[in-house]
Structure 1
Amino acid sequence: MTNSKLHKISVVTPVYQGESTLPGLAEEMAALTTEQVTPDGHRWVVAEWLLVHDHGPDRSPDVLGGLDEKFDFVRPIWLSRNFGQHPATLAGMASSTGDWIATIDEDGQHNPAELGTFLDVAMREQAQLVYANPLNPPPHGRFRNATSKCAKWLVSKALSDGAPATFQSYRLMVGEAGRSVAAYVGTGVYLDVALSWVMDRVAQAPVTLRAEGGRESGYSFRRLLAHFWRLVLTSGTRGLRLVSGLGIAFSLSGFLYAAFIIVQSIVTQSAPPGWPSTFVIILITSGAILFSLGVIAEYIGVLVGMAMGKPPYLIVTDPKDGPWQQRPQPR
């Protein structure tokens, strides 16, 4: 059975070196600008394709200009300089108009025809955000895949205040929530961390990744390391709270060990004169310093949350009237 509501999807693609891959991807996208039906019977269409030029080293601007002339659904967005993948994605999200926002890489490894699978998962689970769940290893090599998986797990389990461990650059999200994230998020914040602040229901859709179109990855080891470090720094204040916890733990350990040394020196009287008191002073002073650093870290954590633009709340429409409802919209 086909549902009557037509879901309009805005597709956002940050462009850094897409000269060789964008034309083929455009043909695939053009086939989705007419009405499609998912396996679960949901009607959808690609309403616009926002190509955000991020000043790469190739002739991507010429390709974007040609696609803009050839296809009505293509919307180039020109950034003033190179800002990086996530800021470019945010720029496209802020400029979108669809009921849903999908983010797709320029290299061709993401098949846009699988957007219907994302929509089925979102509707079935009433999810606000759906990530790709690759059924095959990403085409990056074993070392990069393994380190990427470990880094995501570390941030999700140890450092983040709620970011999922399975986030991917192939995503589908509710349009109004995605545009709100793009409006308030602070400079340099990792996109998936910002999404985790406001997305209550997150799901995964099974997809098959393709090869990267025969071009080299735009991420060197140095850039990947910087990418990971930005993820760590913006993942939340849990790392700062670890500093606070360590301060308290060392302070208590110092007092306990100091008591042990005092008792031992009284009982055995084997310690050199003045040594127990000196060691006790060092332990207590070090513990006090670490505890003070922990208190300072708590204050810094509050300031970090404010600087990153984490909102205290986000107002959205009634879910019954949102993109999950099945009734056709009034004209």
Structure 2
Amino acid sequence: MNDAQRVSVVIPVYAGEQTLAALVAEIEKFTSPQKTGGGVDFFVCEILLVHDCGPDRSDVVIGALSKKYSFVHPVWLSRNYGQHAATMAGMASATGDWVVTMDEDGQQDPESIQVLMDQALREGLQLVYAQPTNPAPHGLVRNFFSKAAKIISMRLLGNASIGRFNSFRLIDGEIARTLSAYCGNGVYLDVGLFWITGRIGHCPLELREEFGRPSGYSFLSLVKHFWSLVLTTGTRPLRLITIVGAFSILFAIGFALYALYEKYTGQVPVEGWASLAVVMAFFSGVILTALGVIAEYLAVTMGIAMGKPLYVVSSKPTRSNRS
């Protein structure tokens, strides 16, 4: 089975003290050569646990797992950089023909790796996203906003073929390593994948319950996550501001013509101060909103131009100040 597909599994770890051991034990059975349901020879050649300096003792667990299993390789980040940066740090170290990215909480079943592999090889895909067939166990409000955010991001990218993003992905190994080598700070991982992949698929899969711990994302962090996605999708939001500005001008012209008509026909007395205050408030808000969005783009551009690193790998674990 020398031609078996080699799979690297990348797991960004923030608060995995209670879940990592069980997850790695599940993946262990795939480290020996075997066949997928579609008859493809494959095996997991390595598990890359990327320590993102969370608040618990994940570093201790990662160290113990790397000693217990020869296929477990730790990647120590110098501080907390976030899930996407940690994922790209793992992809940069991956050696497999394919790279699977998955969460630490156990929602995503390792058994599904072979299903993703079968679809990728059957359809000649470079990137396959898991498409959950059941709602994520996060509550109706969060699931609604998560779905809406992904639909908005898909529209901003201007290509419906990429569909909805998911952290459970199968990526062509060369693409994963290339992306992690040049992708700069502030670039959303799935946006970067969209830039360099031409064939993208979605595989219906069922999510499991998390391994006894809540999500590590707060509502505020999710909002920041979404805003980062918006800013790195390109210039479409800036174009949207231009369109809003054009409509604002048309609205102002129409409002002025209406006010003049009412004044000279004598049907309704037009009070100048009230209308002036409304118009000034409206257009001041439009201008400030436009300047704010442009400033955010400049901030992202400055971070890239100054060479701010996406992540830094160190030789030893670092724990969060909050632990």
Bin for the TM-score computed over the shorter chain: 0.7 to 0.9
Q: Deviations over 1:227-252 (max 9, x none)?
A: 22222222322111011112223334
Match of 1:101 in 2: 99
Cα distance, 1:85 vs. partner? 0.8
Cα distance, 1:307 vs. partner? 6.4
**What is the identity, as a one-letter code, of the residue corresponding to 1:129?**
L
Match of 2:157 in 1: 160
Alignment TM-score, normalising by the size of structure 2 = 0.79
Count how many residue pairs are aligned between Structure 1 and Structure 2. 301
Q: Aligned equivalents of 1:114 and 1:67: distance in 2? A: 22
Q: What does 1:89-238 align with in structure 2 at a 5 Å threshold?
A: 89-157=87-155, 159-162=156-159, 164-238=162-236
Q: Aligned equivalents of 1:41 and 1:251: distance in 2? A: 62
Contact 1:189 1:234 in 2 (8 A): yes
Alignment TM-score, normalising by the size of structure 1 = 0.78
Cα distance, 1:42 vs. partner? 1.2
Q: What does 1:292-303 align with in structure 2 at a 5 Å threshold?
A: none
Q: Aligned equivalents of 2:78 and 2:247: distance in 1? A: 49
Q: What does 1:254-265 align with in structure 2 at a 5 Å threshold?
A: 254-255=252-253
Match of 2:37 in 1: 39
SS in 2 for 1:216: coil
Cα distance, 1:176 vs. partner? 1.1
Q: What does 1:270-281 align with in structure 2 at a 5 Å threshold?
A: none
Cα distance change, pair 254–111 in 1 and its aligned pair in 2 (3 A): same
Cα distance, 1:6 vs. partner? 1.4
**What is the identity, as a one-letter code, of the residue corresponding to 1:27?**
A
Give the percent of matched residue pairs that are identical in Structure 1 and Structure 2. 46
Matched, 1:79 2:74: no
Contact 1:162 1:197 in 2 (8 A): no
**What is the identity, as a one-letter code, of the residue corresponding to 1:221?**
F
**What is the identity, as a one-letter code, of the residue corresponding to 1:46?**
V
Match of 2:241 in 1: 243
| Runs of 5+ consecutive residues of structure 2 not aligned to the other structure | 305-323
Q: Aligned equivalents of 1:15 and 1:96: distance in 2? A: 16
Rg larger for? 1
Higher relative contact order (CA closer than 8 Å, sequence separation 6+): 2
Q: Aligned equivalents of 1:304 and 1:177: distance in 2? A: 28
Cα distance change, pair 307–34 in 1 and its aligned pair in 2 (3 A): farther
Which of these residues, 26, 47, 54, is aligned with residue 24 of structure 2? 26
SS in 2 for 1:173: strand
Cα distance, 1:297 vs. partner? 10
Q: Aligned equivalents of 1:169 and 1:128: distance in 2? A: 16
Which of these residues, 51, 54, 58, is aligned with residue 53 of structure 1? 51
Q: Aligned equivalents of 1:116 and 1:181: distance in 2? A: 23
Q: Aligned equivalents of 2:174 and 2:25: distance in 1? A: 28
Q: Deviations over 1:96-134 (max 9, x none)?
A: 111111101111111112111101111122111100011
Contact 1:135 1:208 in 2 (8 A): yes
Matched, 1:10 2:11: no
Match of 2:315 in 1: none
Cα distance change, pair 308–189 in 1 and its aligned pair in 2 (3 A): farther
What is the RMSD of the two structures over their aligned residues, measured on CA atoms?
3.4
| Runs of 5+ consecutive residues of structure 1 not aligned to the other structure | 310-331
Q: Deviations over 1:264-298 (max 9, x none)?
A: 878x488999x8xxx99x99xx99xx89x98x999
Match of 1:70 in 2: 68
